[in-house]
A and B are shown apart, each in its own frame.
Chain A
Amino acid sequence: MDDHHELTAAYALDALERRERERYEKHLATCEECREELASFWSVAGALAHGAGGPPPPPALRERILEQARSERPNVLPFRKRLTVAPAASLAAVAAVLAIGLGLWGSSLGGQLDDIRAERASERQAFEIIADPRSRKVPFAGAEGNLFLASTGTGAVVLSGLDEAPEGKTYEVWVIEGGVSHRAGIFEGGGGRLILALERPVPQEAKVAVTLEKDGGVEVPTGPPLFQTITV
């Protein structure tokens, strides 16, 4: 019998001893089935966390955490060498393991609907751009949001507070270069916030604008931008 599979529940509940835990994590790296099961159990455990009760935290804790984080700036250099091993350093390693488990769960379920997969891939790509410390942040004028530009020129748009496009209409994003507008994606708006990877790179001296167009988008914008960035 494969001992590892039946450890998934115990691992999700943190009910393994250190050595069992490490062995299970090694197994996890090679077992798709366990990763799926684990991610699902983790979200149940997350629900258990909500059921824990317990008193509210002391107000000072918030500031203490923020102060400590501030003192560790910048946290963005990967593989930064540390002179001492801080107590939370191992937590970062744990966090990485958890992220792998949770992330691979998603990709393994992705085989069903291509459009959902594409949407997810776009959001994923956008997150990568936003999360990359080398990316540049360019605010939109006329809307609440930013364009994030990776050093390679690929871009992601983060917008909030945008109404859902009216019936039969869609928002369309444009990369405007030398006065010529190139389509870079469409979206529906609504839902609070939007994160979208642009379908084409944003070169130097270009800007990014959004218009409202008919469903499915158009090849050439039919009206002035609702809002746009400054020249990047």
Chain B
Amino acid sequence: MIVCAPTLLAFSSRPAKAAPMRFRDHAHLSDEALVALVARSDEPALAELYDRIGGIAYGLAYRILRDESLAEDAVQDAFLGLWRAASTFIPERAKASTWILTLVHRRAVDLVRREERRRTEPLDDAPEAATGSAEDSAWLHLERERVQVALRQLPDQQREALELAYYGGFTQSELAERLGQPLGTIKSRMFSGLSRLRELLDDGAGKESWTTTTS
């Protein structure tokens, strides 16, 4: 009657993860609740967060670093940073996944600059960065498509600035030099690019577009 079995539940933004049995306890919690548990040294909560975000995190780190071992280092450092600092996370209005991916990105960019191995060409057709259930893979695939479609809708110069900065790890000064533009122009392209991308993602333009094959 009232209390139902903990099966098919609703989730905030991401489908349930088919986590290994021993961690199933946490499968229904939001990312934010998991971070709160990580702050209590709850290891299964850390494992669950890794299962949800680790694939994306590694894919991002690999795209920046183009090296498996460095990408692993970046992801490991970020998750350990999370393990140590989870109690500083403030869940109001902020997504825990954003926070974790920001940590991963920061670490990967610091590593790529130190290693002097920045690359700009896009990845070859890499396999999907998903290791979980079919449902999960499908969601990640759609999300990836949605972002890529939105990126393609940006003016070329804005997209170039965003991609070189975010995926390439270039600083704004390096971009100015590389593209032969004044620093102010680069700043403005990054600002306009992010703002426009935000609009595209917010109003679901990307979402509509992935249902059609033309762009």
Q: Residues of A with Cβ closer than 8 Å to B?
A: 6-10, 12-17, 39-59, 61-62, 64-66, 68-70, 72-76, 78, 87-89, 91-96, 98-100, 102-107, 109-110, 120, 123-124, 127, 130-133, 135, 142-144, 158, 160-163, 190-193, 195, 212, 226-227
The answer to whether B78 touches A91 (Cβ under 8 A) is yes
Interface string of B100-118 (1 = CB under 8 A from A): 0111111101000000000
Interface residue? B120 (CB, 8 A): no
Contacting residues, chain A, for B135 (C-beta < 8 A)? none
In chain B between 3 and 24, which residues have their CB closer than 8 angstroms to a CB of chain A? 3-7, 9-12
Listed residue (B2, B106, B126, B172) with the most chain A CB atoms within 10 angstroms of its CB: B2
Interface residue? B93 (CB, 8 A): yes
A-B pairs with beta carbons under 8 Å apart, 14 shown: A13-B166, A39-B93, A42-B98, A53-B126, A54-B59, A55-B59, A55-B127, A61-B75, A69-B80, A75-B84, A131-B87, A162-B3, A191-B9, A192-B12
> Total A-B residue pairs with C-beta atoms closer than 8 Å?
316
Contacting residues, chain B, for A226 (C-beta < 8 A)? 2-3
Q: For the complex, what is the distance from the CA of A45 to the CA of B148, rounded to whole Å? A: 13
The answer to whether B162 touches A13 (Cβ under 8 A) is yes
Residue from the list B80, B128, B131, B191 in contact with A57, Cβ < 8 A = B131
Contacting residues, chain A, for B87 (C-beta < 8 A)? 76, 78, 131
The answer to whether A58 touches B90 (Cβ under 8 A) is no
Contacting residues, chain A, for B131 (C-beta < 8 A)? 56-57, 59
**In the complex where A98-B103, A163-B4 touch, is A91 in contact with B81 (Cβ < 8 A)?**
yes
Listed residue (A50, A61, A102) with the most chain B CB atoms within 10 angstroms of its CB: A50
The answer to whether A131 touches B63 (Cβ under 8 A) is no
A36 CB → nearest B CB, Å:
10
**In the complex where A43-B95, A44-B198, A130-B36 touch, is A161 in contact with B55 (Cβ < 8 A)?**
no
The answer to whether B6 touches A47 (Cβ under 8 A) is no
B116 CB → nearest A CB, Å:
15
A132 CB → nearest B CB, Å:
8
Contacting residues, chain A, for B198 (C-beta < 8 A)? 40-41, 43-44
Chain B residue nearest to A102 in the complex (CB): B94
In chain B between 51 and 89, which residues have their CB closer than 8 angstroms to a CB of chain A? 51, 54-64, 68, 71-72, 75-89
The answer to whether A57 touches B98 (Cβ under 8 A) is no
The answer to whether B190 touches A10 (Cβ under 8 A) is yes
Q: For the complex, what is the distance from the CA of A81 to the CA of B197, rounded to whole Å? A: 43
Contacting residues, chain A, for B169 (C-beta < 8 A)? 14
Those 5 A-B pairs whose CB atoms lie nearest each other, nearest first: A103-B90, A54-B59, A91-B81, A161-B6, A106-B92
The answer to whether B92 touches A46 (Cβ under 8 A) is no
Chain B residue nearest to A137 in the complex (CB): B40
A112 CB → nearest B CB, Å:
12
The answer to whether A52 touches B60 (Cβ under 8 A) is yes
The answer to whether B190 touches A13 (Cβ under 8 A) is yes
- Further 4 A-B residue pairs, CB within 8 A, beyond A7-B187, A47-B201, A57-B75: A95-B85, A105-B94, A192-B9, A195-B33
Residue from the list B85, B123, B171 in contact with A99, Cβ < 8 A = B85
Interface residue? B205 (CB, 8 A): no
Chain A residue nearest to B53 in the complex (CB): A49
B172 CB → nearest A CB, Å:
5
**In the complex where A13-B166, A162-B4 touch, is A91 in contact with B60 (Cβ < 8 A)?**
no
Contacting residues, chain A, for B47 (C-beta < 8 A)? 62, 66
Chain B residue nearest to A62 in the complex (CB): B50
